[in-house]
Structure 1
Protein backbone atom coordinates (compact mmCIF):
# COMPACT_ATOMS: atom_id res chain seq x y z
CA UNK A 1 0.00 0.00 0.00
CA UNK A 2 1.50 3.31 -1.11
CA UNK A 3 0.26 6.28 0.96
CA UNK A 4 1.81 9.73 0.41
CA UNK A 5 1.15 13.18 1.89
CA UNK A 6 1.69 16.58 0.24
CA UNK A 7 1.49 20.11 1.64
CA UNK A 8 -0.79 22.82 0.20
CA UNK A 9 0.52 26.15 -1.02
CA UNK A 10 0.65 29.05 1.43
CA UNK A 11 -2.55 30.68 0.15
CA UNK A 12 -4.59 27.56 0.90
CA UNK A 13 -2.75 26.34 4.03
CA UNK A 14 -5.25 28.08 6.38
CA UNK A 15 -8.00 25.88 4.90
CA UNK A 16 -6.29 22.69 3.73
CA UNK A 17 -4.42 20.38 6.09
CA UNK A 18 -2.82 18.29 3.36
CA UNK A 19 -3.27 16.37 0.12
CA UNK A 20 -2.81 12.62 0.12
CA UNK A 21 -2.73 9.78 -2.36
CA UNK A 22 -3.36 6.09 -1.84
CA UNK A 23 -2.48 3.37 -4.35
CA UNK A 24 -3.04 -0.33 -3.79
CA UNK A 25 -3.41 -3.34 -6.11
CA UNK A 26 -6.61 -5.32 -6.33
CA UNK A 27 -7.09 -7.74 -3.43
CA UNK A 28 -8.13 -11.35 -3.99
CA UNK A 29 -10.55 -10.97 -1.11
CA UNK A 30 -11.37 -7.25 -0.58
CA UNK A 31 -11.43 -6.30 3.09
CA UNK A 32 -14.00 -4.02 4.70
CA UNK A 33 -12.16 -1.05 6.24
CA UNK A 34 -13.40 1.33 8.91
CA UNK A 35 -12.82 5.08 8.73
CA UNK A 36 -13.02 6.75 12.14
CA UNK A 37 -14.39 10.33 12.42
CA UNK A 38 -11.61 12.91 12.74
CA UNK A 39 -13.57 16.18 12.43
CA UNK A 40 -12.20 17.01 8.97
CA UNK A 41 -13.98 17.01 5.62
CA UNK A 42 -12.35 15.58 2.47
CA UNK A 43 -12.60 16.16 -1.28
CA UNK A 44 -11.96 12.75 -2.84
CA UNK A 45 -11.14 11.67 -6.39
CA UNK A 46 -11.04 7.97 -7.36
CA UNK A 47 -8.72 7.68 -10.37
CA UNK A 48 -8.83 3.88 -10.34
CA UNK A 49 -11.74 1.66 -9.29
CA UNK A 50 -14.46 2.93 -6.98
CA UNK A 51 -15.19 2.09 -3.36
CA UNK A 52 -18.37 0.73 -1.85
CA UNK A 53 -19.63 2.19 1.40
CA UNK A 54 -22.09 0.71 3.84
CA UNK A 55 -25.14 2.78 4.80
CA UNK A 56 -27.72 1.27 7.14
CA UNK A 57 -26.41 -2.21 6.29
CA UNK A 58 -26.81 -1.55 2.54
CA UNK A 59 -23.94 -0.98 0.11
CA UNK A 60 -23.72 1.92 -2.33
CA UNK A 61 -20.89 2.82 -4.69
CA UNK A 62 -19.18 6.11 -3.93
CA UNK A 63 -19.11 8.78 -6.67
CA UNK A 64 -16.00 9.10 -8.82
CA UNK A 65 -15.43 12.46 -7.11
CA UNK A 66 -17.10 13.88 -4.02
CA UNK A 67 -16.76 15.89 -0.85
CA UNK A 68 -17.36 13.77 2.21
CA UNK A 69 -19.11 15.66 4.97
CA UNK A 70 -18.39 15.34 8.66
CA UNK A 71 -18.54 11.78 9.95
CA UNK A 72 -20.66 11.41 13.08
CA UNK A 73 -20.14 7.64 13.21
CA UNK A 74 -17.65 5.13 11.84
CA UNK A 75 -17.76 4.66 8.05
CA UNK A 76 -17.27 1.20 6.57
CA UNK A 77 -15.91 1.00 3.02
CA UNK A 78 -14.58 -1.69 0.70
CA UNK A 79 -12.56 -1.46 -2.55
CA UNK A 80 -14.14 -2.88 -5.71
CA UNK A 81 -10.80 -3.33 -7.49
CA UNK A 82 -7.56 -1.36 -7.83
CA UNK A 83 -7.29 1.56 -5.38
CA UNK A 84 -6.20 4.96 -6.65
CA UNK A 85 -7.26 7.93 -4.54
CA UNK A 86 -6.29 11.61 -4.55
CA UNK A 87 -7.76 13.55 -1.65
CA UNK A 88 -7.85 17.05 -0.21
CA UNK A 89 -8.09 16.99 3.60
CA UNK A 90 -9.48 20.26 4.93
CA UNK A 91 -8.93 21.67 8.40
CA UNK A 92 -11.87 21.26 10.79
CA UNK A 93 -13.47 24.52 9.60
CA UNK A 94 -11.62 24.61 6.29
CA UNK A 95 -14.31 23.64 3.80
CA UNK A 96 -16.82 26.38 4.63
CA UNK A 97 -15.22 29.00 2.26
CA UNK A 98 -15.78 26.55 -0.65
CA UNK A 99 -19.22 25.24 0.30
CA UNK A 100 -22.28 25.61 -1.90
CA UNK A 101 -24.59 23.60 0.39
CA UNK A 102 -25.26 24.03 4.12
CA UNK A 103 -22.41 22.18 5.84
CA UNK A 104 -24.74 20.39 8.25
CA UNK A 105 -26.67 18.85 5.33
CA UNK A 106 -23.46 17.11 4.23
CA UNK A 107 -22.92 15.11 7.46
CA UNK A 108 -22.17 11.42 6.75
CA UNK A 109 -22.68 11.98 3.00
CA UNK A 110 -20.47 11.65 -0.07
CA UNK A 111 -21.73 14.64 -2.07
CA UNK A 112 -20.65 14.44 -5.72
CA UNK A 113 -18.82 17.43 -7.18
CA UNK A 114 -21.53 17.92 -9.81
CA UNK A 115 -24.09 18.50 -7.03
CA UNK A 116 -21.77 21.01 -5.38
CA UNK A 117 -20.37 22.86 -8.37
CA UNK A 118 -22.41 21.86 -11.43
CA UNK A 119 -20.51 21.60 -14.72
CA UNK A 120 -17.38 23.08 -13.11
CA UNK A 121 -17.32 20.13 -10.72
CA UNK A 122 -17.71 17.67 -13.60
CA UNK A 123 -14.86 19.37 -15.47
CA UNK A 124 -12.59 19.30 -12.41
CA UNK A 125 -13.25 15.58 -11.95
CA UNK A 126 -12.45 14.89 -15.61
CA UNK A 127 -9.19 16.85 -15.44
CA UNK A 128 -8.02 15.34 -12.14
CA UNK A 129 -8.72 11.79 -13.30
CA UNK A 130 -6.96 12.26 -16.65
CA UNK A 131 -3.73 13.79 -15.30
CA UNK A 132 -0.85 11.44 -14.55
CA UNK A 133 1.20 13.18 -11.83
CA UNK A 134 0.30 14.24 -8.31
CA UNK A 135 1.71 17.72 -8.99
CA UNK A 136 -0.70 18.17 -11.88
CA UNK A 137 -3.62 17.09 -9.71
CA UNK A 138 -2.59 19.49 -6.94
CA UNK A 139 -2.17 22.37 -9.38
CA UNK A 140 -5.63 21.73 -10.85
CA UNK A 141 -7.44 21.47 -7.53
CA UNK A 142 -5.63 24.50 -6.08
CA UNK A 143 -6.53 26.66 -9.09
CA UNK A 144 -10.15 25.55 -8.72
CA UNK A 145 -10.30 26.18 -4.96
CA UNK A 146 -8.57 29.57 -5.15
CA UNK A 147 -11.19 30.63 -7.69
CA UNK A 148 -13.99 29.47 -5.35
CA UNK A 149 -12.49 30.85 -2.13
CA UNK A 150 -14.93 33.05 -0.22
CA UNK A 151 -13.16 34.54 2.79
CA UNK A 152 -16.34 36.30 3.94
CA UNK A 153 -17.61 32.96 5.25
CA UNK A 154 -14.73 32.58 7.74
CA UNK A 155 -16.05 32.87 11.29
CA UNK A 156 -13.47 34.31 13.71
CA UNK A 157 -15.43 33.17 16.76
CA UNK A 158 -15.38 29.56 15.56
CA UNK A 159 -11.69 29.87 14.66
CA UNK A 160 -10.80 31.10 18.17
CA UNK A 161 -12.88 28.40 19.85
CA UNK A 162 -11.47 25.70 17.59
CA UNK A 163 -7.91 26.75 18.42
CA UNK A 164 -8.73 26.34 22.12
CA UNK A 165 -10.30 22.90 21.53
CA UNK A 166 -7.22 21.72 19.66
CA UNK A 167 -4.87 23.19 22.29
CA UNK A 168 -6.50 21.13 25.05
CA UNK A 169 -6.99 18.03 22.85
CA UNK A 170 -10.76 18.27 23.22
CA UNK A 171 -10.53 17.86 27.00
CA UNK A 172 -12.97 20.63 27.93
CA UNK A 173 -16.71 20.89 28.54
CA UNK A 174 -18.94 23.06 26.36
CA UNK A 175 -19.81 25.23 29.39
CA UNK A 176 -16.13 25.84 30.10
CA UNK A 177 -15.55 26.50 26.40
CA UNK A 178 -18.36 29.07 26.44
CA UNK A 179 -16.96 30.72 29.57
CA UNK A 180 -13.36 30.90 28.34
CA UNK A 181 -14.33 32.36 24.96
CA UNK A 182 -17.06 34.58 26.43
CA UNK A 183 -19.60 33.29 23.90
CA UNK A 184 -23.15 32.23 24.68
CA UNK A 185 -23.45 28.42 24.52
CA UNK A 186 -26.41 28.43 22.11
CA UNK A 187 -24.67 30.91 19.83
CA UNK A 188 -21.57 28.76 19.87
CA UNK A 189 -23.56 25.64 18.99
CA UNK A 190 -25.32 27.40 16.09
CA UNK A 191 -22.04 28.70 14.68
CA UNK A 192 -20.33 25.30 14.93
CA UNK A 193 -23.25 23.55 13.27
CA UNK A 194 -23.24 25.92 10.28
CA UNK A 195 -19.45 26.23 9.97
CA UNK A 196 -18.11 22.79 10.89
CA UNK A 197 -21.16 20.52 10.72
CA UNK A 198 -20.67 19.27 14.28
CA UNK A 199 -21.63 20.63 17.66
CA UNK A 200 -18.81 21.81 19.98
CA UNK A 201 -19.43 18.70 22.11
CA UNK A 202 -19.21 16.36 19.12
CA UNK A 203 -16.02 17.98 17.88
CA UNK A 204 -14.45 17.95 21.35
CA UNK A 205 -15.19 14.22 21.67
CA UNK A 206 -13.76 13.61 18.19
CA UNK A 207 -10.54 15.53 18.90
CA UNK A 208 -10.05 13.83 22.26
CA UNK A 209 -10.60 10.38 20.76
CA UNK A 210 -8.21 11.09 17.86
CA UNK A 211 -5.52 12.03 20.38
CA UNK A 212 -6.22 8.83 22.28
CA UNK A 213 -6.06 6.73 19.10
CA UNK A 214 -2.65 8.15 18.25
CA UNK A 215 -1.34 7.16 21.68
CA UNK A 216 -2.85 3.70 21.24
CA UNK A 217 -1.46 3.13 17.76
CA UNK A 218 1.98 4.39 18.73
CA UNK A 219 1.93 2.01 21.72
CA UNK A 220 2.66 4.81 24.15
CA UNK A 221 0.65 3.26 27.00
CA UNK A 222 1.11 -0.06 28.75
CA UNK A 223 -2.57 -0.40 29.67
CA UNK A 224 -5.94 1.05 28.71
CA UNK A 225 -6.78 2.20 32.24
CA UNK A 226 -3.83 4.62 32.28
CA UNK A 227 -4.68 5.78 28.77
CA UNK A 228 -8.29 6.51 29.76
CA UNK A 229 -7.16 8.40 32.87
CA UNK A 230 -4.63 10.56 31.04
CA UNK A 231 -7.20 11.35 28.35
CA UNK A 232 -9.44 12.64 31.19
CA UNK A 233 -12.35 10.27 30.68
CA UNK A 234 -14.54 9.96 33.76
CA UNK A 235 -13.74 6.29 34.06
CA UNK A 236 -12.92 3.31 31.85
CA UNK A 237 -16.61 2.69 31.08
CA UNK A 238 -16.92 6.25 29.70
CA UNK A 239 -13.74 5.71 27.67
CA UNK A 240 -15.01 2.46 26.17
CA UNK A 241 -18.44 3.99 25.39
CA UNK A 242 -16.96 6.95 23.48
CA UNK A 243 -14.39 4.74 21.78
CA UNK A 244 -17.04 2.34 20.50
CA UNK A 245 -19.29 5.21 19.38
CA UNK A 246 -16.57 6.52 17.05
CA UNK A 247 -14.84 3.31 15.96
CA UNK A 248 -17.53 0.64 16.25
CA UNK A 249 -15.11 -1.40 18.36
CA UNK A 250 -13.88 -1.57 21.93
CA UNK A 251 -10.29 -0.36 22.51
CA UNK A 252 -9.05 -3.96 22.76
CA UNK A 253 -10.81 -4.94 19.53
CA UNK A 254 -9.41 -1.89 17.76
CA UNK A 255 -5.90 -2.59 18.93
CA UNK A 256 -6.22 -6.19 17.80
CA UNK A 257 -7.68 -5.30 14.39
CA UNK A 258 -5.25 -2.41 13.84
CA UNK A 259 -7.63 -0.84 11.34
CA UNK A 260 -5.54 -0.50 8.21
CA UNK A 261 -7.09 2.47 6.42
CA UNK A 262 -7.74 4.63 9.48
CA UNK A 263 -4.34 3.99 11.06
CA UNK A 264 -2.65 5.51 8.01
CA UNK A 265 -4.17 8.89 8.69
CA UNK A 266 -3.58 9.40 12.42
CA UNK A 267 0.08 10.24 11.92
CA UNK A 268 -0.46 12.46 8.89
CA UNK A 269 -1.17 15.79 10.57
Structure 2
Protein backbone atom coordinates (compact mmCIF):
# COMPACT_ATOMS: atom_id res chain seq x y z
CA UNK A 1 0.00 0.00 0.00
CA UNK A 2 1.38 3.42 -0.98
CA UNK A 3 1.18 6.52 1.19
CA UNK A 4 1.73 9.80 -0.65
CA UNK A 5 1.47 12.86 1.56
CA UNK A 6 2.55 16.47 1.70
CA UNK A 7 2.20 19.54 3.86
CA UNK A 8 -0.31 21.97 2.29
CA UNK A 9 0.66 25.52 1.37
CA UNK A 10 0.12 28.41 3.81
CA UNK A 11 -2.12 29.27 5.54
CA UNK A 12 -3.38 25.67 5.71
CA UNK A 13 -0.08 24.46 7.16
CA UNK A 14 -0.90 26.31 10.41
CA UNK A 15 -3.71 23.83 10.99
CA UNK A 16 -2.77 20.70 9.03
CA UNK A 17 0.21 18.36 9.39
CA UNK A 18 -0.34 16.69 6.03
CA UNK A 19 -2.85 15.70 3.37
CA UNK A 20 -2.39 12.27 1.82
CA UNK A 21 -3.47 9.56 -0.59
CA UNK A 22 -3.53 5.93 0.49
CA UNK A 23 -3.79 3.39 -2.34
CA UNK A 24 -3.10 -0.23 -3.14
CA UNK A 25 -3.13 -3.59 -1.42
CA UNK A 26 -2.68 -3.33 2.36
CA UNK A 27 0.03 -5.45 3.89
CA UNK A 28 -2.17 -5.79 6.97
CA UNK A 29 -5.94 -5.62 6.69
CA UNK A 30 -6.54 -4.73 10.36
CA UNK A 31 -4.63 -1.94 12.11
CA UNK A 32 -4.80 -0.97 15.77
CA UNK A 33 -4.42 2.83 16.06
CA UNK A 34 -3.45 4.42 19.42
CA UNK A 35 -4.29 8.02 20.35
CA UNK A 36 -2.16 10.45 18.38
CA UNK A 37 -2.12 14.29 18.39
CA UNK A 38 -4.35 14.60 15.34
CA UNK A 39 -7.91 15.07 14.18
CA UNK A 40 -8.84 13.45 10.87
CA UNK A 41 -10.77 13.70 7.64
CA UNK A 42 -11.17 10.54 5.53
CA UNK A 43 -12.72 10.49 2.05
CA UNK A 44 -13.11 6.98 0.73
CA UNK A 45 -12.83 6.57 -3.05
CA UNK A 46 -12.79 2.76 -3.03
CA UNK A 47 -14.32 -0.18 -1.19
CA UNK A 48 -15.78 0.26 2.31
CA UNK A 49 -13.48 0.58 5.32
CA UNK A 50 -14.70 -0.49 8.77
CA UNK A 51 -13.88 1.40 11.96
CA UNK A 52 -14.12 -0.20 15.39
CA UNK A 53 -13.86 1.52 18.76
CA UNK A 54 -11.80 -0.11 21.50
CA UNK A 55 -14.86 0.48 23.68
CA UNK A 56 -16.97 -2.62 22.91
CA UNK A 57 -20.19 -0.75 23.75
CA UNK A 58 -19.70 1.56 20.73
CA UNK A 59 -21.07 0.14 17.44
CA UNK A 60 -18.62 -0.20 14.57
CA UNK A 61 -19.05 1.99 11.49
CA UNK A 62 -18.59 1.35 7.78
CA UNK A 63 -16.77 4.13 5.92
CA UNK A 64 -18.24 4.22 2.42
CA UNK A 65 -18.03 7.96 1.69
CA UNK A 66 -16.37 10.43 4.02
CA UNK A 67 -15.94 10.92 7.75
CA UNK A 68 -14.57 13.47 10.17
CA UNK A 69 -12.91 12.25 13.35
CA UNK A 70 -11.90 14.54 16.17
CA UNK A 71 -9.03 13.97 18.57
CA UNK A 72 -9.19 10.36 19.74
CA UNK A 73 -8.44 9.66 23.39
CA UNK A 74 -8.44 5.88 23.11
CA UNK A 75 -7.34 3.39 20.47
CA UNK A 76 -9.52 2.33 17.56
CA UNK A 77 -9.27 -0.32 14.86
CA UNK A 78 -9.27 0.16 11.08
CA UNK A 79 -10.26 -2.76 8.84
CA UNK A 80 -9.16 -2.17 5.24
CA UNK A 81 -10.67 -3.81 2.15
CA UNK A 82 -8.58 -5.94 -0.24
CA UNK A 83 -7.68 -2.78 -2.17
CA UNK A 84 -7.62 0.70 -0.67
CA UNK A 85 -8.20 4.08 -2.26
CA UNK A 86 -8.78 7.01 0.05
CA UNK A 87 -7.58 10.53 0.69
CA UNK A 88 -7.25 12.09 4.08
CA UNK A 89 -6.12 14.92 6.29
CA UNK A 90 -4.12 14.85 9.50
CA UNK A 91 -5.19 18.03 11.29
CA UNK A 92 -3.19 19.40 14.18
CA UNK A 93 -5.14 18.87 17.42
CA UNK A 94 -6.64 22.38 17.16
CA UNK A 95 -6.58 22.41 13.38
CA UNK A 96 -10.04 21.10 12.65
CA UNK A 97 -11.72 24.01 14.47
CA UNK A 98 -11.61 26.67 11.70
CA UNK A 99 -13.01 24.19 9.15
CA UNK A 100 -16.14 23.06 11.01
CA UNK A 101 -18.98 25.08 12.45
CA UNK A 102 -19.32 23.17 15.71
CA UNK A 103 -17.50 22.70 19.01
CA UNK A 104 -14.71 20.15 18.70
CA UNK A 105 -16.19 18.27 21.65
CA UNK A 106 -18.87 17.03 19.24
CA UNK A 107 -16.17 15.25 17.23
CA UNK A 108 -14.09 13.87 20.10
CA UNK A 109 -13.87 10.05 20.00
CA UNK A 110 -16.48 10.03 17.23
CA UNK A 111 -16.72 9.46 13.50
CA UNK A 112 -19.16 11.85 11.83
CA UNK A 113 -20.17 11.77 8.13
CA UNK A 114 -18.64 14.58 6.08
CA UNK A 115 -22.03 15.70 4.73
CA UNK A 116 -23.25 16.22 8.30
CA UNK A 117 -20.50 18.84 8.69
CA UNK A 118 -19.87 20.10 5.14
CA UNK A 119 -23.28 20.17 3.48
CA UNK A 120 -23.41 18.78 -0.08
CA UNK A 121 -19.63 18.79 -0.51
CA UNK A 122 -18.71 15.13 -0.64
CA UNK A 123 -20.26 14.41 -4.05
CA UNK A 124 -18.50 17.46 -5.50
CA UNK A 125 -15.12 16.27 -4.21
CA UNK A 126 -15.66 12.74 -5.46
CA UNK A 127 -16.84 14.00 -8.86
CA UNK A 128 -13.75 16.19 -9.24
CA UNK A 129 -11.43 13.34 -8.30
CA UNK A 130 -13.36 10.77 -10.37
CA UNK A 131 -10.99 8.18 -11.81
CA UNK A 132 -7.97 10.43 -11.35
CA UNK A 133 -4.90 8.24 -10.84
CA UNK A 134 -2.47 11.03 -10.02
CA UNK A 135 -1.91 11.50 -6.32
CA UNK A 136 -0.79 15.07 -7.04
CA UNK A 137 -4.08 15.90 -8.74
CA UNK A 138 -6.16 14.24 -6.06
CA UNK A 139 -4.36 16.13 -3.30
CA UNK A 140 -4.81 19.39 -5.22
CA UNK A 141 -8.59 18.87 -5.25
CA UNK A 142 -8.65 18.20 -1.51
CA UNK A 143 -6.39 21.16 -0.75
CA UNK A 144 -8.63 23.53 -2.71
CA UNK A 145 -11.67 22.28 -0.83
CA UNK A 146 -9.91 22.85 2.47
CA UNK A 147 -8.84 26.33 1.39
CA UNK A 148 -12.43 27.22 0.51
CA UNK A 149 -13.63 25.93 3.89
CA UNK A 150 -11.10 27.76 6.04
CA UNK A 151 -12.88 30.41 8.09
CA UNK A 152 -11.77 33.92 7.13
CA UNK A 153 -12.01 35.17 10.71
CA UNK A 154 -10.75 32.77 13.39
CA UNK A 155 -13.24 32.12 16.15
CA UNK A 156 -12.68 33.50 19.63
CA UNK A 157 -9.95 31.74 21.54
CA UNK A 158 -8.41 29.87 18.61
CA UNK A 159 -5.26 32.00 18.64
CA UNK A 160 -4.73 31.22 22.31
CA UNK A 161 -5.22 27.49 21.73
CA UNK A 162 -2.99 27.47 18.64
CA UNK A 163 -0.15 29.24 20.46
CA UNK A 164 -0.44 27.10 23.58
CA UNK A 165 -0.89 23.92 21.57
CA UNK A 166 2.22 24.80 19.59
CA UNK A 167 4.19 24.97 22.82
CA UNK A 168 2.84 21.57 23.85
CA UNK A 169 3.86 20.19 20.46
CA UNK A 170 7.39 21.61 20.69
CA UNK A 171 7.81 20.30 24.24
CA UNK A 172 6.23 16.91 23.40
CA UNK A 173 3.74 17.53 26.18
CA UNK A 174 6.46 17.96 28.82
CA UNK A 175 5.40 21.37 30.10
CA UNK A 176 3.05 22.05 33.03
CA UNK A 177 -0.35 23.30 31.91
CA UNK A 178 -0.28 25.82 34.77
CA UNK A 179 2.88 27.30 33.26
CA UNK A 180 1.16 27.62 29.88
CA UNK A 181 -1.79 29.40 31.45
CA UNK A 182 0.47 31.76 33.38
CA UNK A 183 2.51 32.57 30.28
CA UNK A 184 -0.69 33.31 28.33
CA UNK A 185 -2.05 35.47 31.14
CA UNK A 186 -5.24 33.43 31.56
CA UNK A 187 -6.63 31.12 34.21
CA UNK A 188 -6.29 27.37 33.95
CA UNK A 189 -10.07 27.07 33.73
CA UNK A 190 -10.25 29.54 30.83
CA UNK A 191 -7.52 27.69 28.96
CA UNK A 192 -9.26 24.35 29.52
CA UNK A 193 -12.57 25.78 28.27
CA UNK A 194 -10.99 27.07 25.07
CA UNK A 195 -9.18 23.77 24.46
CA UNK A 196 -12.41 21.83 24.90
CA UNK A 197 -14.12 24.04 22.31
CA UNK A 198 -11.33 24.07 19.71
CA UNK A 199 -9.64 20.70 20.36
CA UNK A 200 -12.31 18.68 22.11
CA UNK A 201 -10.17 17.83 25.14
CA UNK A 202 -8.29 19.68 27.88
CA UNK A 203 -4.67 20.83 27.46
CA UNK A 204 -3.69 18.22 30.04
CA UNK A 205 -5.12 15.48 27.82
CA UNK A 206 -3.34 16.93 24.77
CA UNK A 207 -0.09 16.91 26.74
CA UNK A 208 -0.62 13.23 27.60
CA UNK A 209 -1.13 12.35 23.94
CA UNK A 210 1.96 14.30 22.82
CA UNK A 211 3.98 12.63 25.57
CA UNK A 212 2.85 9.17 24.49
CA UNK A 213 3.49 9.96 20.81
CA UNK A 214 7.05 10.99 21.64
CA UNK A 215 7.64 7.73 23.46
CA UNK A 216 6.10 5.43 20.85
CA UNK A 217 7.94 7.13 17.98
CA UNK A 218 11.26 6.77 19.81
CA UNK A 219 11.04 2.97 19.98
CA UNK A 220 13.69 1.34 17.78
CA UNK A 221 12.61 -2.28 17.56
CA UNK A 222 15.92 -3.27 15.92
CA UNK A 223 17.83 -2.52 19.13
CA UNK A 224 17.43 -3.41 22.81
CA UNK A 225 14.84 -1.11 24.39
CA UNK A 226 15.30 0.40 27.84
CA UNK A 227 11.67 1.20 28.66
CA UNK A 228 12.56 3.00 31.88
CA UNK A 229 14.89 5.35 30.03
CA UNK A 230 12.41 5.98 27.19
CA UNK A 231 9.60 6.59 29.66
CA UNK A 232 11.68 9.02 31.70
CA UNK A 233 12.81 10.92 28.58
CA UNK A 234 9.18 11.24 27.47
CA UNK A 235 8.18 12.65 30.84
CA UNK A 236 6.82 9.59 32.65
CA UNK A 237 8.18 9.60 36.18
CA UNK A 238 5.88 6.92 37.61
CA UNK A 239 6.56 3.46 36.12
CA UNK A 240 3.17 2.10 37.21
CA UNK A 241 1.37 5.04 35.57
CA UNK A 242 3.44 4.58 32.40
CA UNK A 243 2.55 0.87 32.22
CA UNK A 244 -1.17 1.55 32.70
CA UNK A 245 -1.26 4.30 30.10
CA UNK A 246 0.74 2.25 27.60
CA UNK A 247 -1.67 -0.69 27.92
CA UNK A 248 -4.67 1.65 27.72
CA UNK A 249 -3.37 3.40 24.58
CA UNK A 250 -2.08 0.36 22.67
CA UNK A 251 -3.89 -2.65 24.12
CA UNK A 252 -0.49 -4.22 24.88
CA UNK A 253 2.14 -4.18 27.57
CA UNK A 254 5.46 -2.60 26.48
CA UNK A 255 6.97 -6.10 26.10
CA UNK A 256 4.04 -7.33 24.00
CA UNK A 257 4.20 -4.20 21.85
CA UNK A 258 7.91 -4.64 21.19
CA UNK A 259 7.39 -8.30 20.25
CA UNK A 260 4.68 -7.27 17.79
CA UNK A 261 6.80 -4.47 16.36
CA UNK A 262 9.67 -6.90 15.74
CA UNK A 263 7.34 -9.43 14.17
CA UNK A 264 5.73 -6.83 11.91
CA UNK A 265 8.24 -4.06 11.10
CA UNK A 266 6.74 -0.82 9.79
CA UNK A 267 6.69 -0.59 6.01
CA UNK A 268 9.03 1.98 4.52
CA UNK A 269 6.96 5.11 3.97
CA UNK A 270 3.86 3.61 5.59
CA UNK A 271 2.44 4.10 8.07
CA UNK A 272 3.65 7.68 8.45
CA UNK A 273 4.52 6.99 12.07
CA UNK A 274 5.19 3.96 14.23
CA UNK A 275 1.96 4.17 16.21
CA UNK A 276 -0.51 2.01 14.23
CA UNK A 277 0.11 -1.70 14.60
CA UNK A 278 -1.30 -4.82 12.93
CA UNK A 279 -4.17 -6.32 14.92
CA UNK A 280 -4.93 -9.98 15.27
Alignment TM-score, normalising by the size of structure 1:
0.88
Write the mapping of 1:134-145 to structure 2, written as runs, cut at 5 A: 134-145=135-146
Matched, 1:75 2:76: yes
Contact kept? 1:2, 1:23, Cα under 8 Å: yes
- Distance across 1 between alignment mates of 2:128 and 2:102: 23
1:177 paired residue number: 180
The 1:218–1:182 alpha-carbon spacing in structure 2 relative to 1, beyond 3 Å, is: farther
Deviation at 1:221, TM superposition (A): 6.6
Contact kept? 2:44, 2:85, Cα under 8 Å: yes
Show CA shifts across 1:29-52 (max 9, x none): x64211121121121122221211
| Gaps in structure 1 of 5+ consecutive residues | none
Contact kept? 2:29, 2:82, Cα under 8 Å: no
The 1:221–1:194 alpha-carbon spacing in structure 2 relative to 1, beyond 3 Å, is: farther
Show CA shifts across 1:31-90 (max 9, x none): 421112112112112222121112343432124212211111001121133112211211
Equivalent pairs, count: 266
| Gaps in structure 2 of 5+ consecutive residues | 276-280
The 1:104–1:133 alpha-carbon spacing in structure 2 relative to 1, beyond 3 Å, is: same
- Distance across 2 between alignment mates of 1:133 and 1:256: 37
Deviates more, 1:126-135 or 1:164-173: 126-135
1:198 paired residue number: 201
The 1:226–1:81 alpha-carbon spacing in structure 2 relative to 1, beyond 3 Å, is: same
Matched, 1:168 2:162: no
Deviation at 1:129, TM superposition (A): 4.8
1:186 to 169, 184, 189: 189
- Distance across 2 between alignment mates of 1:208 and 1:49: 35
CA RMSD of aligned residues (A): 2.5
Contact kept? 2:29, 2:81, Cα under 8 Å: no
